[in-house]
Chain A
Amino acid sequence: MKKFFAKNGPGYFFLIPWFIGFFCLALGPILYSLYLSFTKYNIFKPPKWIGLENYEFMFLYDDRFWKSLEVTFSYVFMSVPGKLIFALAVAMLLDKGMRAIGFYRALFYLPSILGGSIAVAILWKQLFEYNGVINSLLAKIGIEGPYWLNDPNYSLYTLVMLGMWQFGSPMLIFIAGLRAIPRELYEAAEIDAASKWKQFYAITIPLLAPVIFFNLVLQMIDAFKTFSSAFIISGGAGAPLDSLNFITVYLYNEAFAFYRMGYASSLAWVLMLIIAIFTGVAFFSSRYWVHYENERD
């Protein structure tokens, strides 16, 4: 016990503000929503206990729920790897000494600050409109662009691109990780005439694995929770044809458009379980591909 605190004490100390927020503000509503998920509750009348009915309906009869899972998973599986690869590529470019490096770093980080905002989602919507900027650029090289936002075959890609564009925070973390790799390793590899590609994959990737893992987990959780951009771009209803009906958008509408707070709460808990399972799987798999230098402490 003593040893545990000697080692982890400072960490927990710095977590105190978070704990206060969690226990004083968040925990109550979270537990209440767990209770609500077993009830029928339309806000006006008190919640009525219905046991597992919400979950039963969700898994057995609700096609829109399954569709929303498909949309959410497709988004996570496309946007997270895309974003990480993009972030790493830019981080490696910026890791090379160059002039005005701070300026570029700030510049590339900018989308991440803007990205969550409603204004950018609206701007994005305009860019991808049929007569929008993207299609006029495509027209210049002789391609007739599709109806990006109206056609369910394309709509999700616009959101994936918006997600990838917000690569700033993983990029910063990658830069820090790259800085921590001892230069001697690369020098030794140069002397052994290892190619750049070989260096990347034999030195950079293994030594960066803990950072990649960290980014992966954070970005995955974030991607599962995507809401505001999907809400704006899909006109609030997950349109067209539910192709943007993320589980978050679906549960918002169930709660605030159709007053089914109980069912919405059960959707929220399923989303939480999904995130927990995926995070758990990531942690479990990390034993096989992530190595920490100070592992044997």
Chain B
Amino acid sequence: MTKIDRRKFMKAAAATTGAVAAASTMGSKAFAADSTVRHFWWGNPSRDKRTFGVIEVFNKKHPEIEVIGETLSFPDYFAKLTTQVAGGNMPDVIQQGYGVLFEYVDNGALKALDEYVGKSLDLSKIDKSALAAGTVNGKLYAVSIGANSHMALYNTRLYDEAGIKFDPFGWTYDDVKTIGVEISKAAGDGVFGTDDNTANYQNFSDFVGQKGVVMFNPESGDYQVTTDIVEEYWSMWTAIREAGATPPGKASAGLIKPPMAEWGIVTGQTATSYAWSNQLVGAQGLVKDKLGAAMYPNTPAMVPGSIVQPSQFICLTRDTDDAVAATTYMSAFVNDTDMTAILGLERGIPANPDVRAALAPNLSEAEAASVAFFSGIQGKTATLPPPPPSGANEIEQTFERIATGILLGQDSIPEAAANFIRQAGFIRRRAG
């Protein structure tokens, strides 16, 4: 930590020279165009390729502006952004999610967009609900670049072979169990009906909604989930596992928030995995069998638990030098059909109806399935809750850690549930 050895020093030296070199080339480009706009997003190879394609189109159409793309994987993205916040050198345009957007707004890292709307930033076509989701304390801070919801992906071949018929928009956890067991039997060795969601916080958050509980108190930010709900959730998945519908607990213990390549449905270990709807396109690209889309399972009472929320936003940062150029780019990103054609549905369903209409004729099978899914869930989702308070991310990680003890059969469910609720309360108090 405190020691600089030769190798580290050389690395640092090389990095500095590299940065200087990069800065000087950037400088010369900036000379050609009037201003540069840095756009930073988290992505995956397919998204990166599409986004760089978009930037290329924009730069051709707007020779006075030079957009430079930067990309990293999700966890690295926020680590780097954090250091850039501290250093006061955030890129002009950044990608944000619903979970942390408000922490950035709260702490003054983002610039409000209102003064550019109707000038450099055209939002006249964007859905009202999408704009509302990006509005904090009456000011607009974020433009949605796609809507998203929770989606269960299933392998249609394995489901058909086991003779499964079910309602993808109204199945229950009991269905998950019976169907899972049948598939495990029909598919034979080493293939199971479903992923084990004991440690899946996404599914848990749905379940909390299905129980009629709002996770965080809108005013105080208190964690309102009760021990009973946690206990019921873990007991339910333990029953599904013990019936033989999932892989062994020890196997699932290694798959906490796995990357797409390790999802059960992608490795072929299971017939059902649980994801975000905008991931259907990416996952289908990795699986030979056709994937089907279903809602997350529910209880027989069918209280909606899933929400539709913007999957991602683009935001303007307080460190931008040329807000007009940056908002011009943001505007084109959500309106220009030449650019959105390249993006497709990879970031979710676009919030601009014209863009959706322009995409419709050229959708791939997976993209069409995800559009059909969105019409199927109409009226079956919960209202968008207020954004999570700080500490939410840590509560999620704590849930995953404690749930691992259940998967390994080391901890009793009532004790683990009580422990989790105690720690969640503590995390909120510490964050407040």
Contacts and interface: CB of A to CB of B under 8 A. Distances in A.
Interface of A: 17-18, 21-22, 25-26, 30, 42-45, 129-130, 147, 149-152, 221, 225, 235-237, 239-242, 253, 256-259, 268, 271-272
Nearest to B16: A25
A204 B83 CA distance: 51
B393 A258 contact: yes
Nearest to A242: B401
Given A43-B82, A44-B85, A272 B404 contact: no
B253 A25 contact: no
A239 B401 contact: yes
Given A21-B9, A130-B251, A256-B78, A237 B256 contact: yes
A26 B4 contact: yes
Interface in B106-123: 106-109
A20 B273 CA distance: 54
A13 to B, nearest CB: 16
A236 B4 contact: no
B185 to A, nearest CB: 22
B380 to A, nearest CB: 33
A241 B410 contact: yes
B79 A256 contact: yes
Contacts, number: 81
A235 B4 contact: no
A236 B78 CA distance: 14
Contact of B82 (A18, A130, A256, A272): A256
Given A241-B408, A242-B401, A147 B4 contact: no
* Nearest 6 interchain pairs by C-beta: A44-B107, A150-B254, A150-B253, A21-B4, A256-B79, A147-B250
A294 B379 CA distance: 86
Given A26-B4, A45-B107, A147-B253, 6 more contacts: A22-B4, A44-B85, A44-B107, A150-B253, A240-B404, A256-B82
A248 to B, nearest CB: 8
B1 interface: yes
Contacts of A258: 393-394
Chain A CB within 10 Å, residue with most, of B9, B85, B254, B256: B254
B188 interface: no
A69 to B, nearest CB: 16
Interface core residue of A149, A152, A221, A235 (most chain B CB under 10 Å): A235
